[in-house]
Amino acid sequence: MAKANAAKKSSPSKSTAKTQAAQYHNFINGQWVPAASGATFENRNPADTRDLVGTFADSAAEDVDRAVAAAREAYPSWRLYPAPKRAELVFKVADILVRRKDEISRDMTREMGKVLKETGGDTQEAIDMAYFVAGEGRRLYGHTTTSELKNKFAMSVRDSVGVCGLITPWNFPIAIPSWKILPAILAGNTVVIKPAEDTPLSVVNFVKAFEEAGLPAGVVNMVTGFGATAGAPLIKHPTVRVVSFTGSTATGRVISTETAALGKRCSLEMGGKNCIIVMDDANLDLAVEGALWGAFGTSGQRCTASSRMIVHKKVVKKFTAALAERAKGLRVGPGLDLKNEVGPVINQKQMEKILGYIEIGKTKDKAKLMSGGERLTEGDLKHGYFIAPTVFGDVAPNAVIAQEEIFGPVTSVITCDSFENAIEIANGVEYGLSASIYTADVNRAFTAMRDLQTGICYVNAPTIGAEVHLPFGGTKGTGNGHREGGIEAFEIFTEWKSLYIDYSGVLQKAQIED
Ligand code: UN1
């Protein structure tokens, strides 16, 4: 699956053949090493595929074995290294990211396309996460509690689990790895990360921060490559105790089955079909502004993207016209050019998938195309994967484009008759990540917060923009009950241990009457 992507992304071109591309290796046991086979793959700029970002190790089971062995070797002493000391290293990582934010963000825009302001936000999210998680080094609280028996003390503490296998996506190439690596290592685990094949450079940059901070060898390891050849052996490796995955629902379900069969802990963060409800009493200008950002920020390639607008019949005409107008006005182009507001989509396969959904919207779904609806190929744009911000109007709640995750700059406006009808439409999808409501009515706002079946809910703001100190994740097809971010992130990366200390000097029997 992933291989096909990269093959398209990496088709050779004359203009780059002359320049020597940078070569990047795996990071195993504190060393930068090529794949055991010597194989590499290319990473190209989706805004201009003539630009070769670099070549990366095309890893396989042997590389995964080495990385996992390094993580296992490092684990016993890292586990016993005091958590506040582990936190000091994480604070150092944060400071390094602050210092290198611009450079990291530029590399990120070059390898995955989103505009510089947004890659800055992505890097900032990793910085925020590092400061937040590092603070936990002096907390990681458990409970002290009462005992049923006299002269007996009881408490619970968190322990680490062991080696964690982390599989991360390309849309938040450093933020999402930070959600996984940082709580994992702060809690005393060691990790092997396999970044998306479209964005290995961002994780190379992240790993360099751990190296510079002086993390012991083997605590953080990285193998680059593809899902089938590098991701699968990592997930299945018997030493790997925790798997944390962010990506498609289809892949997540496979991982869920495989890890269950092997008795591993598994956290999944998958798709979304997030909606903005706009009621007739909403501040319409604010709602349009929010919808524009929610639908077209990151070219719609967020799990949290606002891909459905559920709008009250009294204001739907006005809202749709205004949103389409604003969408037409967005400047689409390479993200490194500061005047652009929307970058390309990630690769050819993804572009074709999005264009396929646009076609379904026009034909099968019989929706009304209000803006965009096509690939942009003018001038140098033809060298990249640009799609015009697309708004569909008159979309039925059960239309394909209103049900399936498109992961591109496409949003659907659905008309609702009432608040109750809006909630029903909102909940009528397979996913449950994020939802929002624009209303001036506090009663409606609270009812929506109560009844929307999503892990994240916004009032008078779009569906994107979660902050790292609150739990992130979703219900239904979006996840499997775990959360990233917040102190809840530690649940998957720690094992609870209950401790009983009997200082009575006699045998006391719980639950047994004398
Ligand atoms: C994602 O799209 O997978 O809430 C993550 C947001 C960002 C994270 C998105 N802070 O939109």
* Ligand 1 near 471 CB (within 6 A): no
**What is residue 13's three-state secondary structure?**
coil
* Residues 278 and 253 placed together within one structural domain of the fold: no
**What is residue 30's three-state secondary structure?**
coil
Q: How far is the CA of 446 from the centre of ligand 1 (A)?
A: 23
Question: Nearest to residue 86, comparing CAs of 122, 129, 124, 130?
Answer: 130
What local confidence, expressed as pLDDT, does residue 287 receive?
Answer: 98
* Ligand 1 near 304 CB (within 6 A): yes
Which of the following is catalytic: 42, 136, 269, 341?
A: 269
Task: Tell me the CA distances in angstroms from 407 to 297, 348, 387, one per residue in order.
Answer: 11, 13, 12
Q: Out of 268, 303, 407, give the residue to mutate to test ligand 1, the one with the largest number of ligand atoms within 8 Å of its CB.
A: 303
**What is residue 150's three-state secondary structure?**
coil
What local confidence, expressed as pLDDT, does residue 53 receive?
Answer: 98
What local confidence, expressed as pLDDT, does residue 21 receive?
Answer: 84
* Residues 88 and 119 placed together within one structural domain of the fold: yes
Determine phi and psi for 28, rounding to 5 degrees: -130, 125
* Ligand 1 near 245 CB (within 6 A): no
Residues 372 and 467: their CA atoms lie apart, in Å, by: 31
Q: How far is the CA of 82 from the centre of ligand 1 (A)?
A: 32
* Residues 258 and 348 placed together within one structural domain of the fold: no
In a domain, 509, yes or no: no
Q: How would you write the pLDDT of the chain (514 residues) with one tens digit per residue?
A: 333 344 344 443 434 444 578 999 999 999 999 999 999 999 999 999 999 999 999 999 999 999 999 999 999 999 999 999 999 999 999 999 999 999 999 999 999 999 999 999 999 999 999 999 999 999 999 999 999 999 999 999 999 999 999 999 999 999 999 999 999 999 999 999 999 999 999 999 999 999 999 999 999 999 999 999 999 999 999 999 999 999 998 999 999 999 999 999 999 999 999 999 999 999 999 999 999 999 999 999 999 999 999 999 999 999 999 999 999 999 999 999 999 999 999 999 999 999 999 999 999 999 999 999 999 999 999 999 999 999 999 999 999 999 999 999 999 999 999 999 999 999 999 999 999 999 999 999 999 999 999 999 999 999 999 999 999 999 999 999 999 999 999 999 999 999 999 999 999 999 998 7
Pairing of strands 143-145, 190-195: unpaired
In a domain, 26, yes or no: no
Q: What angle do CA 392, 394, 399 make, to 5 degrees?
A: 80
Place of tokens 């825009």: 109
What local confidence, expressed as pLDDT, does residue 514 receive?
Answer: 76
The CATH number for 330's domain is 3.40.309.10
Nearest atom in ligand 1 to 472's CA: 4
Q: How far is the CA of 171 from the centre of ligand 1 (A)?
A: 9
Q: Out of 172, 179, 406, 436, give the residue to mutate to test ligand 1, the one with the largest number of ligand atoms within 8 Å of its CB.
A: 172
In a domain, 506, yes or no: no
Which of the following is catalytic: 164, 266, 303, 416?
A: 303
* Residues 314 and 171 placed together within one structural domain of the fold: no
* Residues 106 and 237 placed together within one structural domain of the fold: yes
What local confidence, expressed as pLDDT, does residue 14 receive?
Answer: 38
* Ligand 1 near 172 CB (within 6 A): yes
Taken in order 236, 240, 242, 244, the sign of the CA dihedral is negative
236-257 burial, b at 16+ Cβ within 10 Å, e below that, comes to: bbeebbbbbbbbbbebbeebbe
Query: E-strand spans in 446-493?
Result: 456-459, 475-476
Q: Which residues contact 76 (CB under 8 A, 6 or more apart)?
A: none
* Ligand 1 near 114 CB (within 6 A): no
* Ligand 1 near 347 CB (within 6 A): no
Domain around 163: 33-270+479-497
* Residues 367 and 225 placed together within one structural domain of the fold: no
- Give yes or no for a contact between 78 and 219, defined as CB atoms under 8 angstroms apart: yes
Identify the helix (H) or strand (E) that includes residue 242: strand 240-246
In a domain, 465, yes or no: no
* Residues 266 and 344 placed together within one structural domain of the fold: no
359 is catalytic: no
269 is catalytic: yes
* Residues 153 and 231 placed together within one structural domain of the fold: yes
Residues 171 and 265: their CA atoms lie apart, in Å, by: 24
Cα-only R_g, the chain: 24
Q: How far is the CA of 244 from the centre of ligand 1 (A)?
A: 16
In a domain, 503, yes or no: no
Q: How far is the CA of 345 from the centre of ligand 1 (A)?
A: 16
Identify the helix (H) or strand (E) that includes residue 182: helix 175-186
* Residues 414 and 490 placed together within one structural domain of the fold: no
* Ligand 1 near 129 CB (within 6 A): no
* Residues 260 and 278 placed together within one structural domain of the fold: no
What local confidence, expressed as pLDDT, does residue 11 receive?
Answer: 40
Residues 209 and 104: their CA atoms lie apart, in Å, by: 11
Q: How far is the CA of 2 from the centre of ligand 1 (A)?
A: 22
What's the number of domains the chain is made of? Answer: 2
- Give yes or no for a contact between 268 and 303, defined as CB atoms under 8 angstroms apart: no
